[in-house]
Amino acid sequence: MADPGLAFTLVDAESFASIPAPARPGARCQTCDYWERLDGRREASQSESAADLKLSRLLAGTRLAGAYGMLAWQADASGDQVAVGWAQFGPISAYPRAQVIRERYPSLPDSPAPWVVICLQVVAETPYREKVAGSLLGAVCDELDRRGIIAVEAYPEGVADAWSLSPGPASVYQAAGFTLAAGEERYPVYRRELEGASADVGWSDLLSHTPPPDEGDDWPLPLPKGPSEEDLFRLPPKPTRPNPFGDD
């Protein structure tokens, strides 16, 4: 259950600029592509094209069910709503670095392909920071359950300053019902099974929800470029680039 005073919204073009700065010095969520590319970077970029690309990635799932990011809002001292938390998620096919981590553990189930939470950050000055993060993570899981997602994974490493890495502290995931499915502190995989049965959005119904104005023999295909409903429930091909984490 969400804490009183917190509100959660999926990111859109208007709220994109409100994503709060992460704990890691010099990083910027609006341009970070660390998880989207094996050679990605967390460091801030002021490039307008980098921000545009990030926004397009976050909104890539909008046609199917919704954006791949969620903001947590709280009233400040003057009563204005400000963003205090940010979570990014999506199908594992969207995040090659998550695929690499997962490939370390062949015992993990291949089906259904999990969605992953790759960023969970709450502003350091926020009272009850971990509790707010837990509420945000719970809201993300509720949203994914609504979409019919069955399994969610995350990869929070055990480091001294857990907020310095984008997934945030493992303790937040544990409190939200995630369990350690594989690995240890260095490359852990935390997993939570969802019901999926309460889905407002059934993947088999998605196309019929938004038929094109000119239905014909080609309907419901072709789909626009981007994720398809099948992509969301199967593991992608193994990344072909070298493992950035090494072989140990």
Average pLDDT, the chain: 83
Q: For residues 126-154, give the mean pLDDT.
A: 96
Q: Give the pLDDT of residue 40.
A: 81
Q: Is the dihedral of CA 18, 22, 28, 33 positive or negative?
A: negative
Q: For residues 119-130, give the mean pLDDT.
A: 96
Q: Nearest CA to 100 among 240, 5, 229?
A: 240
Q: Give the pLDDT of residue 234.
A: 55
Instruction: Please tell me which residue, 242 or 118, carries the higher pLDDT value.
Output: 118
Q: For residue 232, give both structure tokens.
A: 């969301």
pLDDT band of residue 186 (cuts 50, 70, 90) is confident
Q: What span, in angstroms and rounded, lies between the C-alpha atoms of 95 and 154?
A: 12
Q: Give the pLDDT of residue 77.
A: 85
Quickly count: other Cβ atoms within 10 Å of residue 211's Cβ. 10
Instruction: Please tell me which residue, 125 or 201, carries the higher pLDDT value.
Output: 125
Q: What span, in angstroms and rounded, lies between the C-alpha atoms of 58 and 55?
A: 5
Lowest mean pLDDT among 42-46, 139-143, 154-158, 184-188: 42-46
Q: For residue 61, give both structure tokens.
A: 């799932």
Q: Give the pLDDT of residue 236.
A: 57
Q: What span, in angstroms and rounded, lies between the C-alpha atoms of 148 and 115?
A: 11
Lowest mean pLDDT among 58-67, 72-81, 186-195, 224-233: 224-233
CB 19 within 8 A of CB 51: no
Q: For residues 129-134, give the mean pLDDT.
A: 96
pLDDT band of residue 209 (cuts 50, 70, 90) is very low
- The DSSP H or E segment spanning 52 is helix 48-58
* Beta bridge partners of residue 27, listed in sequence order: 43
Q: Is the pLDDT of residue 230 over 80?
A: no
Lowest mean pLDDT among 3-17, 86-100, 142-156, 232-246: 232-246
CB 134 within 8 A of CB 172: yes
What's the start-to-end Cα distance of the chain, in Å? 40
Q: For residues 220-233, give the mean pLDDT.
A: 45
CB 14 within 8 A of CB 154: no
pLDDT band of residue 221 (cuts 50, 70, 90) is very low
Q: Give the pLDDT of residue 117.
A: 98
